[in-house]
Structures are given as structure tokens and as C-alpha cells.
Structure 1
Amino acid sequence: MNAKATAAGWITPEDSPVNPFRCGDEYGECGERIKPGRSVIGSTGDAKNKILYVERGKVKLEGPHGQWVSLPAHMVFIPHGRPYWLHATADAVVTVVHLDSHHTVWEHEGCWAAPVSGLAKEMLEYALRWDRERALEDLVANAYFNAIGLLCKEWFQCSRMMWIPFGESEELRRAIAYTRTRLDSVTLELAAEAAGTSVRTLRRYFHDEVGMSWRSFLQELRMTRAIELLTLKRLSVTQTAMDVGFNSVAAFTLAFTSFTGKTPSVYAREFLGNRGLNVTLATTGNRAPSVRGQNAA
């Protein structure tokens, strides 16, 4: 595969020959359930905006500046024209809604991740009744996808989560790698030592290259890991707090609630509730939604 490597280590993708997530302008707005199998897919940027709602497995999305890790009961928005690498686990099942760019309300720069609300889940699954072969003049479908586009602002109005920056300098990349593997014990001083630089210089790297302080980066990283431990690993709140570096469950609960808008126990409970409903297909009215990808039946 031909690719161009930037100084920051980002590998600019070419379009993969097989990309079930690609949807060109020749199709109308639509929804589909995709089972990509264990795969790495590259795209130079798609014609449509898309919402990827992960029902099962894990999807990692890499862009020029960092990566998003999307877990079940979460979704990620990919703006049109945005190059990406998509890594899917073998068991990944993803509902994808493709939206025209002209009526999607979007205020973030680049991709963004969010938990799937009850309303978003129902609407994204209901969109599966209109696949890419639907009639372009279907007024009901056009109005429905227009409504989803308008709701994107509300659905993704949350703190940035599940994002890990790459960093441009070698020192910053070393500090990030060190911090990711030692959330329970890392300090700024230890991260600077691992990076081979001073505390003051590392602070400047984070400010100049990532646009945030090291403390803010650590907090985002801890909360992202906490979400994974509470949901996929199903650890207790106490064990999760310890694993991500909090000595107090109360302090962890406060930080987690401030970050997600929900307590850890409520977040985990809603995640399990959403997963329990994932087997329900939006089949009302038309034919059952198709499943695309190498694992499709």
C-alpha cells in the first residue's frame, strides 16, 4: 500500500479498494448495518458526513492529529472530506448513517465521539429501513435524514472523550505513550523523565502541539480508560477509580460526572441497558435492513 508519512508519524491513507463505509454522491442519505470483520480501512475522505454507532466490538478511528476509540453504545461523527484510518475488531458491528453535508449542523473541528442517547439509538436504528438503494425522491426518508442532520449538534454536545493525540515531536509522543500505560501512578515529573526533557519543556509541548495542559490531557485519558473499564470490562466503580489513578471513589465520581454528565454507576447501567436492546432491528414498514461487510450472512 502506497502511503505518505508526515513528520508527526501520521500515515496519509489512500482509498482502500474495499471500504464498506464509503458512500458517494450517487446515493441518497441512508443507513446500513456493517460487519467489517477484523480490518484496517483507509479513506482519503468521503463525500458524505457519517455517524458510526458501534453496537458490538471496538472501532478505532485515526485522523491526522490523533485517534478516537469508539466502544459499544457510543458513536463517532466523521465529517465529509476527512481522511481517516479505521481499525475494526473481528466482532465489530456498526450502524452507519450517511448524511449530506449541506444540512448537517456541525460545530466541532474534525471528528467527535459521544455516548448514544436513547433517542439517538432509536433514530439511527430506524434509519436502517432506508438503505443506499432507496428512491432519491422519497420525501419521508429525505425529511427523516434531514432531522438527524439537525440533531447532530445536540447529540455531540459533550466534552471530548475517547481521543488520544499523536503529538508532533518525539518527546511528546514518548510522554503520551508513557502516560497511557501508567495511569495509576503517572506524574508530570515521571512523564517528563520518560520523554527525556524537562517539566517546563513538556508543558510547552502539550500547549503548542495538543492545545491543552498535561493535566487536562491526563484527565481526558483517565476518563476514556474509565469508560472502557466500566463498560467493556464491567469493573466496579471502586476498582475503576484505583486503576485510573484515583485514591478516592468520591473524587473519581466527581471527576467522571463532570466529564460525562453522569455518575459512573449510571453510565455503566445505561450502557448495559443499551446493549441489551441492540438485537432489535428497525424493520417496521419496509424490508429488514441489510448487513454489509465481509462477515455479512
Structure 2
Amino acid sequence: MNANDSIKIDELKKPYFVWFEENWVHDNVLHHHQKGQLVYVESGFQYITIEEKIYLLPQNHAVWIPPNAVHKTNSHSEKIKLMIMFAEISIQESFYQDVKVFSVPPVLKEMIKYAEKWSKLMTPDHHESLFLKALFNELPRFVEHSLTLHISLPKDKRLAKVIEYLHSHYRNEIKMEDLSDTALLSFRTLERIFKKETGLTLSKYQQMLRIIKSLEYLSSGNLTISETAYEVGYKSVQAYTRSFYSVMKFRPTDFIKTIQ
């Protein structure tokens, strides 16, 4: 099912809409809704682009997408169960104006699963509205720590081949100075433009790619922390753990606890 095509969300005459699917199919097209959107990954993982930034949504995590934010879904695991809820938001609280990716605590998880009873209900329902109003009003209190992990997509076309190379070779040792030939720029100019466009240095961008990819591997449950470390290019578990902590502010073992 594709919510963007088969149901016109903003045309529904109700403040909330619930849509759950076992295997969600996306069309990879940028779009937006007047309603805010909460996306919860019960199983699997999902990449999502919001306002030209790419986020990873691991298992048992959710993302809050503000009203009218331009977004699209990217690649995802082979099997994924998404729970999506749309809401008209009139509250001016700053929480609802920004993208939030967060681990879903047990109480919120049970509330989201309970809301499945209203999945694809097209007509207004008093009990649905009361329940979801309470859920969305309390959403800021459920979010203890928001994952700030994302990578920005540069607009400068001179960086296109550099980005492509980094995404294809992130696990390898890269001599960043060599990328200046790829961009046909001096290294100093490349580093300056890249930092301006993405907010990161070239080496920091590679680190972010490694950590994001490692979250994907850990979410799949197919690799151990040690195997994941080597898979994304680290020479030791210790080096991976240090790098992970510097980006995430918690350890890989802590992350695994959030997806179980």
C-alpha cells in the first residue's frame, strides 16, 4: 500500500488517521502533508529523507515529521512493519516543529499498537480522536533522547561524484586529498564547500556513514557488534565503540537494548 497514492490524507475530514501495514511499499517520491506524521518501525528498518536530510529509522524507533515537511522514503529492509499515524497539530510547542527520531518506550509502543484497531478508518470516530489526541499531546514527554543522526545531501553539483564515492567506499581507508581530483577542485576548496553544504568535514561524513550503516546491521540482528565493526571498516571493536560513542553519546550495547 502507498499512502501517498491510494488515500489522500489531507482530504480526510478527520483530525487523525491511522495506517498500519505488514509490508509497506513506497514510491520514493517527495511529497508533504498538511498533517504531521508519526512513523513507527515495529520490525525491520527504514531510511527516510526529510527536508534534504537522510535519517535511519531502526527497529522500535519512530520519527515525527512536522506538518508540510517535504519527505520521501528510501531503501528499507526486506520485511518491514510500519505503523503510521497522521495528526492535525495546532499546538505551538517547539517539539512539533522539528524532525525527531527516537527510541519508543514501552508505554508509547503499547499505545501505538492499541491504535491499530482504527487502521484505515475513513470516517470520524469519537473514541479514536480522544485516544490519539492524548497520544500526540503527550508525545514530547515520551521522547527522552532524540537521535540527531542524519546526513545532509549537498546541492552543489560539484560534490555529486564525491558523495557517490564516499557512499560506495565508506568502509575503506580513504585518502581524502585524492577526492579533490574527483571534484576537479583543490582540496582546500573541496573541504570548504563540502563543510558548507553538509556541515561536516569529509572524514566526519565518512564516520557518519559508517555509524549509520552499523545501526542498520545491528537492527537486522544478523551480525554481532564485533562483526558489525569489521563490516563497516573498523579494525577493532574498541575503535568502533569509541567512534560510535563519539557520535551517538551511548554505546552499541545500549542501542541493542532499545531495539529489543
Which TM bucket (shorter chain)? 0.7 to 0.9
Instruction: Please report the TM-score for the alignment, with normalisation by the length of structure 1.
Output: 0.71
- The structure 2 residue matched to 1:240, chosen from 223, 228, 240, is 228
How far is the alpha carbon of 1:94 from its aligned partner?
Answer: 0.8
**Equivalent-residue separation in structure 1 for 2:13 and 2:67 (angstroms):** 15
Give the match's secondary structure for 1:102: coil
Q: Hey, what does 1:164 align to over in structure 2? A: 151
CA–CA distance in structure 1, aligned partners of residues 92 and 43 of structure 2: 26
The counterpart of 1:255, out of the listed 240, 243, 259, is: 243
Q: Which residue of 2 aligns with 1:31?
A: 18
Select the residue among 208, 217, 224 that pairs with 2:196. 208
- Kindly indicate whether the alpha-carbon contact (under 8 Å) linking 1:206 and 1:212 is maintained by their aligned counterparts in 2: yes
The Cα of 1:81 is off from its aligned counterpart by 0.8
The structure richer in helix per residue is 2
How has the CA–CA distance of structure 1 residues 244 and 88 changed in structure 2, closer, same or farther, with 3 Å as cutoff?
closer
The corresponding residue for 2:53 is 66
Structure-2-length-normalised TM-score? 0.80
What secondary structure sits across from 1:201 in the alignment?
helix
1:47-90 deviation digits (Å, cap 9, x = unpaired):
21111112234433234423333333222221111222234656
Post-superposition offset of 1:172? 1.7
The CA deviation at 1:198 is: 2.5
Structure 1 unmatched runs, 5+: 1-14, 274-297
1:261–1:164 CA distance, 2 compared to 1 (3 A): closer
- Matched positions, count: 254
Are the aligned partners of 1:48 and 1:80 in contact in 2 as well (CA < 8 Å)?
A: yes
- CA offset digits 1:93-115 (Å, max 9, x no partner): 21112222222744487534333
Identity %: 19
**Does residue 138 of structure 2 align to residue 151 of structure 1?**
no
Matched with 1:123 is 111
> Is residue 37–residue 88 contact of structure 1 (8 Å, CA) maintained in 2?
no
Structure 2 residue aligned with 1:286: none
**Contact 1:35–1:94 under 8 Å retained in 2:** yes
CA–CA distance in 2 between the matches of 1:129 and 1:95? 12
Amino acid at match of 1:268: I
Cα separation, 1, equivalents of 2:231 and 2:127 = 53
1:197 equivalent to 2:213? Answer no
Q: For 2:63, which of 76, 93, 105 is the aligned residue?
A: 76
Matches within 5 A, 1:211-230: 211-230=199-218
Structure 1 distance, partners of 2:91, 2:102, is 20
CA distance change for structure 1 residues 104 and 57 in 2, over 3 Å: closer, same or farther?
A: farther
CA RMSD after TM alignment: 3.1
For structure 2, list consecutive stretches of 5 or more residues without a partner in the other structure. none
Aligned to 2:131: 141
SS at 2:5 equivalent? coil
Matched, 1:173 2:138: no
